[in-house]
């Protein structure tokens, strides 16, 4: 019932089609397998046809995933924000105004690859909760090429175990070209991501009775694509396969060299061993020729990111130990001769192919699959790498080895970074917690940052009368001495003790605008992060976020207040956000609550000259108290 009411934006008493479908779109799950029947029933409704609580309950009964969607409990809570940044990255690369991403060229040493349009460009993301977003030429299929090495290695490792696999192939970077005839001190190919190693993986597949069909079936189970009786022939690029088999002289030579060195699993006779090696090479060529698009490849990567579990079905395809081995080898060996540089700069497991594909796996978050045929001198797609670079500039998640608190974490709830930095500093200052404030300062948190009402830690420390904290902020942190908050008040104006007032005057602190005397509010130790999230949602007019927050907290949360007695309604009214104000009022916000300066929401709207909000609040108050003089 709480979810139903929270998503009734206007307090109509019922939902309509767009109320429901919009939240699914925002979260990127409108095509999620578990919601298919639910979505079909909702889409049958007319645009303004009421959906009663009884009907909604009937349709959503047992859909635990739907509740997670509605209260933003998926792995990327603000998926629409992530998609906005993702799309911006894609467009910046595609438009390439500064000619940063126009380098590279289409691979020509395999004739079918040379026919690719160099301007093709697509990218797709799939999270571990199957949240999906795709852009560009996503329907164009391309051959997996070396990305197929991940497919074969993962499948084989899971079937026969790592001990058996690595008797025949190593796990260390080679430091040489991907097709170099070099081997480790045990005579093994260095790792499964170089050509000798991938051919050896195929030899082990053949020896244990597996075929191309097994690999394709495995891929399809991970990506939820069906496989027909003849699919193992129609889903590969036959022309490419034949060309590679005909002209892949280096791979033929590598196979012959490994035969000569007796590196392959031995059969009963030399003839059978040679036959096994030939079948392995044939499987290798076919595996490289498997056709995929970025949508399916991203889903395959999301299975790896989800520790071997298919996000939309919950089916475990790979053991945890297999996934650990696969993503580790992808990290150290996946980007040809550019693996070290890629890992140092970006630090995420990735595997590229010379057709222009790139699969990037972010453990516990999701996967990005990109396709753009222009490759650099190392054989890696120029624009595909740029996608990861752009995302890494915004999000910490796209580098597993380095974190920058100025960047976002796409898995964190909305405004979590602000809450754990700026708001945390303000709360510490208000409560006189110098130890925690010092810790935040050492972490690099800027103490001049302000909250939604432009209050800084210095404001709050002064209000609390905490002289030592005020001195710490001024003398150690070097903060500005006379910042003005929303009301034009400075720390000197609101000094909560004579000692603080005298100190602020002695260092040249200035007074601000005339304002009402600040009155202390009750202790706020129990105010949750979600309550501050609601304050920031009000500040940003983010009604969609408000809905998800009220699914959890109801009216108890909607009337919570901060260290200044400020509520979400007061903040929204101050900003003039009529949509947010209406939503809060309809859902039980106290229109008469007064903050630490004695103002209620109507006072806030009047002070800031928010005429539409003033008119609305007057109307609401008069409905409650017709005799009120406004």
Residues 260 and 390 placed together within one structural domain of the fold: yes
pLDDT tens digit string along 121-135? 999 999 999 999 999
Beta-strand pair 366-371/122-127: antiparallel
Domain finish residue from 40, 55, 70: 70
Residues 362 and 292 placed together within one structural domain of the fold: yes
pLDDT at 185 (0 to 100): 87
Q: What is the pTM of this model?
A: 0.87
Residue at 102 is within a domain: no
pLDDT tens digit string along 184-216? 888 899 999 999 999 999 999 999 999 999 999
pLDDT tens digit string along 482-539? 999 999 999 999 999 999 999 999 999 999 987 677 777 765 556 788 899 999 999 9
Residues 369 and 424 placed together within one structural domain of the fold: no
Lowest mean pLDDT among 317-326, 384-393, 407-416: 407-416
pLDDT higher for 152 or 18? 152
Domain span at 497: 416-506
Tokens (6 digits) for 216: 């394709």
CA distance 607 to 602: 9
CA distance 512 to 241: 76
pLDDT higher for 102 or 145? 145
Residues 366 and 425 placed together within one structural domain of the fold: no
3-state secondary structure of 499: helix
Task: Give residue 375's pLDDT band: very low, low, confident or very high (50, 70, 90).
Answer: very high
- Quick one: which H or E segment has residue 345? helix 339-345
pLDDT at 629 (0 to 100): 65
Residues 500 and 552 placed together within one structural domain of the fold: no
pLDDT at 233 (0 to 100): 40
Residues 379 and 281 placed together within one structural domain of the fold: yes
Task: Give residue 234's pLDDT band: very low, low, confident or very high (50, 70, 90).
Answer: very low
User: Which residue, among 331, 283, 286, has the nearest Cα to 304 in the 3D structure?
Assistant: 331
Lowest mean pLDDT among 37-46, 236-245, 525-534, 582-591: 525-534
Residue at 119 is within a domain: no
pLDDT at 285 (0 to 100): 97
3-state secondary structure of 135: strand
Task: Give residue 232's pLDDT band: very low, low, confident or very high (50, 70, 90).
Answer: very low
CA distance 76 to 447: 29
User: Which residue, among 389, 387, 385, has the nearest Cα to 377 in the 3D structure?
Assistant: 385
Q: What CATH number should be reported for the domain holding residue 300? A: 3.40.710.10
Residue at 79 is within a domain: no
**What is the tally of structural domains in the chain?**
4
Q: What CATH number should be reported for the domain holding residue 44? A: 1.10.238
Residues 170 and 254 placed together within one structural domain of the fold: yes
Percent of the chain residues past pLDDT 90, beyond the cut: 71
Residue at 78 is within a domain: no
Task: Give residue 229's pLDDT band: very low, low, confident or very high (50, 70, 90).
Answer: very low
Residues 394 and 495 placed together within one structural domain of the fold: no
pLDDT higher for 178 or 85? 85
> Helices (H), strands (E): how many in the chain?
31, 9
Reply yes or no on whether the pLDDT at 226 is more than 70.
no
Q: What CATH number should be reported for the domain holding residue 462? A: 1.25.40.20
Residue 432, burial from CB neighbour count under 10 angstroms (0-12, 13-18, 19+) = middle
Residue at 6 is within a domain: yes
Give the number of C-alpha atoms closer than 13 A to the C-alpha of residue 46, restricted to the C-beta side: 3
Helix axes 543-558, 529-539, angle to 10 degrees: 130
Domain finish residue from 70, 96, 122: 70
CA distance 437 to 445: 9
pLDDT tens digit string along 538-570? 999 999 999 988 886 655 688 999 999 999 999
Domain finish residue from 398, 427, 448: 398
Reply yes or no on whether the pLDDT at 3 is more than 90.
no
The answer to whether the CB of 73 falls within 8 A of the CB of 375 is no
Residue at 364 is within a domain: yes
Reply yes or no on whether the pLDDT at 445 is more than 80.
yes
The residue-averaged pLDDT of 58-70 equals 90
Q: What is the mean pLDDT of the chain?
A: 91
Residues 6+ apart with CB under 8 A from 614: 602, 605, 606
């Amino acid at each position: 019932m709480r979810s139903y009411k929270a998503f009734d934006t206007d307090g109509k008493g019922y939902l309509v089609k767009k109320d429901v479908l919009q939240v699914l779109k925002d979260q990127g799950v409108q095509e999620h397998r578990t919601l298919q029947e639910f979505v079909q029933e909702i889409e049958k409704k007319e645009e303004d046809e009421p959906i009663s609580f009884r009907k909604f309950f009937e349709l959503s009964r047992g859909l635990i995933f739907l509740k997670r969607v509605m209260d933003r409990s998926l792995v990327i809570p603000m998926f629409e924000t992530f998609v906005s940044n993702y799309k911006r990255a894609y467009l910046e690369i595609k438009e390439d105004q500064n000619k940063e991403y126009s380098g590279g060229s289409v691979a020509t040493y395999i004739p079918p690859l040379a026919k690719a349009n160099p301007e093709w460009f697509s990218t797709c993301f799939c999270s571990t909760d199957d949240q999906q977003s795709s852009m560009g030429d996503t329907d164009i299929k391309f051959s997996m090429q070396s990305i197929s090495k991940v497919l074969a290695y993962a499948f084989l490792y899971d079937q026969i175990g790592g001990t058996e696999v690595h008797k025949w192939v190593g796990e260390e970077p080679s430091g040489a070209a991907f097709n170099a005839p070099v081997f480790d001190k045990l005579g093994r190919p260095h790792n499964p991501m170089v050509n000798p190693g991938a051919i050896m993986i195929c030899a082990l597949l053949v020896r244990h009775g597996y075929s191309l069909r097994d690999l394709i079936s495995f891929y399809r189970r991970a990506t939820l694509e069906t496989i027909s009786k003849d699919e193992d022939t129609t889903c590969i690029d036959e022309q490419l396969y034949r060309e590679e088999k005909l002209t892949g002289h280096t791979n033929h030579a590598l196979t012959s060299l490994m035969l000569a060195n007796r590196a392959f699993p031995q059969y009963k006779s030399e003839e059978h061993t040679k036959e096994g090696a030939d079948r392995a090479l044939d499987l290798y060529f076919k595996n490289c020729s498997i056709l995929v698009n970025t949508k399916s490849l991203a889903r395959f990567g999301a299975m790896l990111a989800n520790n071997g579990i298919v996000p939309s079905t919950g089916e475990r395809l790979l053991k945890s130990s297999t996934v650990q081995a696969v993503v580790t080898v992808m990290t150290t060996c996946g980007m040809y001769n550019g693996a070290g540089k890629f890992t140092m700069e970006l630090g995420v497991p990735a595997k590229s192919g010379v057709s222009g594909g790139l699969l990037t796996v972010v453990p516990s978050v999701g996967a990005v699959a990109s396709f753009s045929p222009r490759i650099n001198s190392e054989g890696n797609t120029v624009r595909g790498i740029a996608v990861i670079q752009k995302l890494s500039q915004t999000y910490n998640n796209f580098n597993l080895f380095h974190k920058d608190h100025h960047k976002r974490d796409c898995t964190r709830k909305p405004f979590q970074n602000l809450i754990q930095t700026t708001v945390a500093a303000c709360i510490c200052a208000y409560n006189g917690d110098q130890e925690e404030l010092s810790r935040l300062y050492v972490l690099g948190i800027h103490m001049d940052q302000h909250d939604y009402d432009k209050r800084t830690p210095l404001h709050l420390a002064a209000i609390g009368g905490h002289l030592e904290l005020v001195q710490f902020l001024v003398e150690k942190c070097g903060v500005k001495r006379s910042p003005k908050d929303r009301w034009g008040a400075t720390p000197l104006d609101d000094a909560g003790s004579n000692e603080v007032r005298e100190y602020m005057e002695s260092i040249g602190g200035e007074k601000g605008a005339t304002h009402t005397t600040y009155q202390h509010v009750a202790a706020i130790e129990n105010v949750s992060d979600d309550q501050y999230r609601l304050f920031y949602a009000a500040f940003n007019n983010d009604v969609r976020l408000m809905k998800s927050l009220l699914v959890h907290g109801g009216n108890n949360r909607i009337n919570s207040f901060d260290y200044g007695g400020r509520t979400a309604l007061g903040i929204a009214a101050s900003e003039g956000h009529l949509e947010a104000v209406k939503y809060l009022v309809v859902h039980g916000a106290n229109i008469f609550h007064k903050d630490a300066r004695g103002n209620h929401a109507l006072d806030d709207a009047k002070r800031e000259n928010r005429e539409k909000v003033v008119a609305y609040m007057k109307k609401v108050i008069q409905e409650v108290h017709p005799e009120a003089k406004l």
